[in-house]
Amino acid sequence: MRLLNIDDLPIFTVLGLKAICSVNRDIISGFNLLSKKDILLLLTNKLKHGHEIVIFPFIYNEPLYFKSYIK
């Protein structure tokens, strides 16, 4: 498992950001209806306030979660 860094946020798609939020439900809630911009703001605020957000290995193994994925 890795911790999320603010510099890592731009590499994720909306699906990736929502997957990160879903595995960290104890810290982040109410993200399902938010736009990508709002999710980025939510995650950035949580990281700046000292919360540790975990990224599980299955997120890094899914190409749909990254911007470099091409269908």
Taking only the tens place, the pLDDT of each residue in 36-48 is 999 999 999 999 9
pLDDT at 35: 93
pLDDT at 58: 92
pLDDT at 68: 74
pLDDT at 46: 94
> Which two structure tokens, joined as six digits, stand for 28?
């982040």
Tell whether 70 is covered by a domain.
Answer: no
- With a cut of 70, which residues of the chain have pLDDT below it? 69-71
Range of the domain at 11: 2-65
Q: Tally the domains of the chain.
A: 1
> Which two structure tokens, joined as six digits, stand for 64?
């749909």
- Torsion angle, CA of 25/26/28/34, rounded to 10 degrees? 40
Contact 20, 43 (CB under 8 A): yes
Tell whether 31 is covered by a domain.
Answer: yes
pLDDT at 51: 95
